[in-house]
Every structure is written in structure tokens, then in C-alpha cells.
Amino acid sequence: MAIPLAERMRPVSLETFMGQGHLLAEGRPLRQAIESGNLHSMLFWGPPGTGKTTLARLIARHSKADFLAISAVLSGVKEIRAAIEQAKQSQQLGVSTLLFVDEVHRFNKSQQDAFLPHVEDGTFTFVGATTENPSFELNNALLSRARLYRLKPLETEALQRIIGQALQHETVDVKLDLPSAGIEQIIAAADGDARRALNILEIVIGLAEEQKEGTGTVSEAQIAQVVAEGGRRFDKGGDLFYEQISALHKSVRGSNPDAALYWFARMVDGGVDPLYVARRVVRMASEDIGNADPRALQIALNGWESYERLGSPEGELAIAQAISYLAVAPKSNAIYQAWNRVMADVKGGGSSEVPVHLRNAPTKVMKELGYGRAYRYAHDEADGYAAGETYFPDETGERRYYHPVERGMEIKIKQRLEYLQQLDREARK
């Protein structure tokens, strides 16, 4: 049939809707609102294929409201105005309207603002769908007028039921003998996306129809070929991208090399540019390991350079090596904290002058002004250290920003600094 299987399988009642039990189970607020007819404007946030559009259609059907849909990908101001005008006409006839806006995050601020007065005066019930984090992508004004519902990827059980129903659907002519291992392959490739599962299944059904009319079988190898190019959910510029790089960073910080490698593999499998990860790994080397293991920074840089020389897939192993090293290395954020303290002081303070004894004196005039005259050359001092010397501006006095931790190389660094500070105290008595 010309209509895709996923569209033919779209549920027509809440009872046949699969998944999202945290929203639609008996007694849940959204279920109660739907059944009572007390609709409110809402936002559905979730990955593709989790039922956002279907749920909006079911809500409209259950409340006997006109279902009016526009897509932010294809629509502009003209389409928004037309939808609002159509909703007003229905309102005059005593018919309520549910306006569904797909990919609402793609509308700019002014386009989102166009809905606000009509949401407030009840011209329509606004339902927006987005795959992106609404707190980043939508106006606060719109967020405050719509209740947010988070839709989750469909679980294995729900996908199994959807596939089972599809195989028995009246529009599917072939009676497919699908092995359980094949179903598992489809579910794994679907990655929580019902639409993807049904699209894969439709291709598999097509293979069976070509082989034998009426009934058919497909092998696991054939199914594997169909799902080979599926890929996992990953948006290079969206929430999943930042969620996964965050998980990778936190796994390194938490000294768990296995989890760190897992998240790196997930990102590579999803199509991330490994050079982006390599840059983040260099940042991790300074932020989370620092001087507890100075080798970490060099190993991170080596991983980056190795990837640039080898490319994919060979170079990815070097980045993985760097990630695993950073994960097991001793941790210190002392440099990270010190840098933040310094920047806060610099931004919050004035432009203090460089002390005269620290200034260079390349000209006669500068020498006559005393530039550098009282400077003590550390190499000429005992221990190569000018005990009691000051290096901060006179206005600020001595400051302590860097506090090494009791881990890795910073143990020795801390001991060295404490020794030098004791020499300073003695010299200033």
C-alpha cells in the first residue's frame, strides 16, 4: 500500500497507545485531564518515534476537538495566521480546536510569541512537540503557559507488542514467519523509536513478499542487512550530543574507564566528529587531572594528534587510549579552581600596576626611574629561591589561589610549596 506501515499502525484510541505509562497510566495527571475533558496547553518533549503526534491526535479525538496541525519545519508566519484564523472560526461555531505544532523549537522568538494571546484567550488548546530541551529552545513566556510532559523511548515490551500487532494487521498481506532473534534485531535497531521499528519491519515484509506469495520467511542474516545502516539515536547538535559528552566527562572524572569508553563508543557510533571528543579530552586533562598527573595532558594531545594522522577508524583507538588513561589517573581540580579564583579577582579588581622591582628596564630612562633595581635574581639565591620576595601588585598583597590536593604528583607539589612558604615567613620576620 502507498501509505507507510507506521502510519497505518497509528493508534486510534488511548487503549491501543503503546508506552508512556508514566504519563497515561490510570490516575496519572495527563490521563485524568484527558478523560475529564479539562485540557490545557502542553508541550511534549521526547525523541522521535515516541508518540508525540499520535498522542496529540488522540487527545483531540477524545475531547471532540478539531485537530489542526502545522510543522515549524515547513511553516512560517502565513501558516500560523491561517491556523489561528481557522481556530477562531471554529470557536465561533462552538467547536474547540487543538493546535498541534510539530518541531516547535524551530520557530523563532517572534513566531512563538504569536501564539501567546490566543493561548490565553482560549482560541485553541496549544500542543507543541519538540525533540530538543524546551528550556533552551522555547521562550519563557510560552513555557509558562504550557505544561511540559517528557516522553521516553519505547521499552522492549512495547516495541514487541507493536511489531506483533503489525504482523497481524489487516493491511499486511503476507503472513511472515519472523524468528524471535529477528524481532530482537529490529528492536535493537529501533532504539526506542516505534516509527523506525515499523519502517524496518515494512522492508522485511517486502523481502518476504518477493520470495513467496501468501506466506514467507526471512533469515536473521537478511534482517541484519536491513538494520545494518540503522544507527543509534544521536543528534550532533542537539540534546543527546551534550548529554552524552557530559556522561563521558563525568565518567572520566569519576575514574570509570569502562563507562567513559562506552559513551565514547556511543558517540562515535552516532556519527560524532572524533576531533570534537579529542578536544574535550584535552580539556578534561587540565580540569580534572591537572598536576596530579601532568602526563595526562600530553597523552590527551597525543591522542588528538594520532587521530589527525590516522583518521577513522584507526585513530579512534588513540583517543580511546587517552580517555582510559585519564579515567584511571589521580584526580585534581586544583588548577581549575585556582584559575577560576584568579579570573574572579582580576575581573572584580582594578588595573593594579606592576611593582617597580618586577619591571624590565631596557632603556636609560627606565633604569633612572628604578625599574627592576630591587629585583632579586632567584638563581643567585640559596635553594634557587628568593625567600620573602613579593610578586603581586602592592595593592593586592600576597594571594593564594592554587591549593594542591593529596593525590598523585600534587602531593610533592604541595610539600614543595609548603617548604617555600615557610622560607618566606622566616625571611619576613
Q: Are 421 and 355 in contact (CB under 8 A)?
A: no
Give the pLDDT confidence of 153-192 residue by residue, as tens digits: 999 999 999 998 888 887 777 777 777 888 888 888 888 8
pLDDT at 210: 66
Total-model pTM: 0.62
Rounded to whole angstroms, how far apart are CA atoms 211 and 219?
A: 12
pLDDT tens-digit profile of 71-89?
888 888 888 889 999 999 9
The pair phi, psi for residue 192, each rounded to 5°, is 85, 5
pLDDT for 74 = 84
Say how far apart CA 214 and CA 134 lie, in whole Å. Answer: 48
Provide CATH 1.20.272.10 ranges for the chain.
Answer: 239-328
238: confidence class by pLDDT, cuts 50, 70, 90: low
| pLDDT given at position 398 | 87
CATH 1.10.3710 domain residues, the chain: 352-427
Ranges for all domains in the chain classified under CATH 1.10.8.60: 156-227
Kindly report the CATH class assigned to 239-328: mainly alpha
DSSP annotation string for 259-284: HHHHHHHHHHHHT--HHHHHHHHHHH
User: Is 352-427 a CATH 1.10.3710 domain?
Assistant: yes
pLDDT tens-digit series, residues 106-163: 888 888 888 888 888 888 999 999 988 888 788 888 888 889 999 999 999 999 999 9
CATH number of 156-227: 1.10.357.10, 3.30.428.10, 1.10.8.60, 3.30.420.40? 1.10.8.60
Least confident range of 86-100, 213-227, 325-339, 395-409: 213-227
Highest CATH level, class, for 20-150: alpha beta
Q: What cell numbers appear for 297 in the block?
A: 595532558
